[in-house]
Chain A
Amino acid sequence: MARYDRAITVFSPDGHLFQVEYALEAVRKGNAAVGVRGTDTVVLGVEKKSAAKLQDSRSVRKIVNLDNHIALACAGLKADARVLINRARIECQSHRLTVEDPVTVEYITRYIAGLQQKYTQSGGVRPFGLSTLIIGFDPYTGVPSLYQTDPSGTFSAWKANATGRNSNSIREFLEKNYKETSGQETVVESGGKNIEVAVMTKDQGLRQLEESEIDGIVAEIEAEKAAAEAAKKGPARDA
């Protein structure tokens, strides 16, 4: 057992935890995930890499339910995600069993983040290589929330956020375009064409958007963009 006491995550002389930083690098290489919180809806979008022709795309669900009122999307090592998601689902039911109440979004986020942190301070294990975006509604007040966790185990609440590939440019876009009443359009616009989108409302839970619906929204956005471009060019020519 002595071999397993050797920690993998140790401090560097200048105070860095390199393993955690390398895990963040793995996240940066992962498929983008975007989340936007509106007044009564929360939306998650995940970039889909082009489906292999022979693959059954239904078996690759990137946005998952943790409970009736909580959903999760992530960027990074998807195999690590399976482990975290399983533990979170168990915790959601365990919480219901012991305190007869559904979890709050903050509770389950804290739990997942706590798990991620544990693996940065244990012997013989490496950190989880993923950041999660967790959405949901408070079971009693009905207030929507969006939280993000990362491999270091930190978490915070957001109005809109992105993680994974190009997350910086997506976040810039979100900062420019976010309004309190934002919803699915903002997610799709920030994401691009090859995207899996799910919308959660308080009453109807999580709903995955069909490809046709996404195509519809993309078409709307392109039309809006074209109209905006035309409007810009129009007045200039007159002058």
Chain B
Amino acid sequence: MECVFGLVGNDYAIVVADTSAVHSILVHKSNEDKIMVLDSHKLVAASGEPGDRVQFTEYIQKNVALYQFRNGIPLTTAAAANFTRGELATALRKNPYQVNVLMAGYDKEIGPSLYYIDYIATLHKVDRGAFGYGSYFCLAMMDRHYHSGMTVEEAIDLVDKCILEIRSRLVVAPPNFVIKIVDKDGAREYAWRESVKPDAA
């Protein structure tokens, strides 16, 4: 029931994730942030087994930071994505991580990019991607309305359309979503979309 999706615009990339932490029929919390800021210009939106999700993304984050200290410059988005895929692949036939990742980043010479990395270590560079049951609706919506070089306003409009579809068509739809953006000024939270007031923190 976790929904994660994202798209690339003219000079930014946006990722959206639902914010429900669920165990069986119980919703533990509805303000769980599943989009990690990997470094100043990278975002990782992850879905899947909750323990694996946090452990794996934090592990990637610390290794990306270590690379930067060792080498004096940050990893490119492509390099970070390939590193992530490599870790998933190595663990796959031993102790697999059940985590799907959408990695969005902005590199100075290359611009924005989005990488689709699923739990069995598939890696694709994409314009738009989605994971979970929500993907059935998001991909259809994005296929219909997406075009390359969208402005931020157009993209957020499309994101809202996708969220509306999820809310109206998915049987156990997550009520709240978080939207994060990465562009030349860095990675940051853009907005929340709440239909159920989250717990007092």
Contacts and interface: CB of A to CB of B under 8 A. Distances in A.
Interface string A25-41: 00000000000000000
A189 interface: no
A93 B59 CA distance: 9
Interface string B65-107: 1100110100000000000000000000000000000000000
Contact of A97 (B58, B69, B70, B72): B58
Interface string A66-100: 11000000000000000000100110111011000
A65 interface: yes
A169 to B, nearest CB: 33
Contacts, number: 21
Q: DSSP class of B's interface residues: helix, strand, loop or mixed?
A: helix
A93 B62 contact: yes
Interface residues of A, number: 12
A99 B28 CA distance: 23
A89 B69 contact: yes
Contact of B62 (A61, A65, A86, A96): A96
A93 B65 contact: yes
A65 B72 CA distance: 9
Q: DSSP class of A's interface residues: helix, strand, loop or mixed?
A: helix
Contacts of B58: 97
A93 B70 contact: no
Contacts of B65: 93, 96
**Best-surrounded residue of A61, A66, A93 (most CB of chain B within 10 A):** A93
**Best-surrounded residue of B59, B63, B66, B69 (most CB of chain A within 10 A):** B69
Interface string A49-68: 00000000000010001110
Nearest to A89: B69
Nearest to B65: A93
A65 B66 CA distance: 11
B63 A86 contact: no
B62 A94 contact: yes
Interface of B: 58-59, 62-63, 65-66, 69-70, 72
21 contacts: A61-B72, A65-B69, A66-B69, A67-B69, A86-B70, A89-B66, A89-B69, A89-B70, A90-B66, A92-B69, A93-B62, A93-B63, A93-B65, A93-B66, A93-B69, A94-B62, A96-B62, A96-B65, A97-B58, A97-B59, A97-B62
Interface of A: 61, 65-67, 86, 89-90, 92-94, 96-97
Given A93-B63, A96-B65, A97-B58, 9 more contacts: A66-B69, A67-B69, A89-B66, A89-B69, A89-B70, A90-B66, A92-B69, A94-B62, A96-B62
